[in-house]
Amino acid sequence: MIHAVIVDDEPKAIQSLTWELSNFSSDIEVVETFSNPEDAIVYLNENPPDCLFLDIQMPTMDGFQFLERLPNKDFAVVITTAYNEYAIKALKHEAIDYLLKPIDSDDLEDTLKKIKKHNYRALNVSKIEEVLTNFNGKFDTKRVTISADGKLIFLNIDDILYVESDGNYSTIHMEDGQQLVITKKLKEVDATLPEHYFFRIHNSYIINLTKIKEFIKSEGYVVMLSNHKIPVARQRKSDFLEKL
């Protein structure tokens, strides 16, 4: 079963597409619809579907601006619009297909095939990623596996200084000065890193405990080997001292 979300500022358009999808195939189910794109962004960040049907022309933000607001787009995106001049731009934004309103049943059938193909490929990639991550974690305790930009990156623990949060993104600061930006919240990164070496010292920071140069007690911050100063959250101070 393909779980789909529809985003369109016109309620009638949502009703029409929902009806077409529900009557076209038993393989697809519309689980949520939105006429307000801001509400849709909040929902999609927490509840990624298998497929998103997205209108392009919306008053508060267009569909392309909407896609740029989504840090993770692992699901299939299908652009829907009454105008055909957006086709090339839709493909550049990694949409798997483009449907002109009113939607033709033959076009919808082709789109459904593309969605299934996309999801099948994504499932296989996910399985491979899981195998590699588990293998690396079991047999090499000095490396961590990070998923970023459509690839798996294997990092040596000794090369990581600290990780900094930026909302839905995180920046991994390496000892050689390199910065790796990934589309994961700090909480997700924290779950990936071994707690024996790393500690979430603040809501916005995870540090490598082996890379601390100084702890300034009176001012409540640590100095890393790179001389970066990172604050220690008051509520985490006692747990941090137990780690040292």
Instruction: Give domain 143-243's CATH architecture.
Output: Beta Barrel (2.40)
The model's pTM is 0.52
Q: Burial code of 48-65, b = ≥16 C-beta within 10 A, e = fewer?
A: ebbbbbbbbebeeebbbe
Per-residue pLDDT, 132: 46
Dig out the tokens for 156 from the structure: 């040596």
- Mean pLDDT of successive 10-residue stretches along the chain, which has 244 residues: 92 91 84 95 90 89 86 82 62 69 82 78 45 48 72 85 91 93 88 90 96 92 95 92 84
Instruction: Give domain 2-128's CATH architecture.
Output: 3-Layer(aba) Sandwich (3.40)
**Residue ranges of the chain assigned to CATH 2.40.50.1020:** 143-243
Per-residue pLDDT, 170: 92
d(CA 222, CA 215): 4
**Residue ranges of the chain assigned to CATH 3.40.50.2300:** 2-128
d(CA 57, CA 30): 21
- Contact status, residue 59 vs residue 9, Cβ threshold 8 Å: yes
d(CA 20, CA 173): 49
Dig out the tokens for 116 from the structure: 């299934």
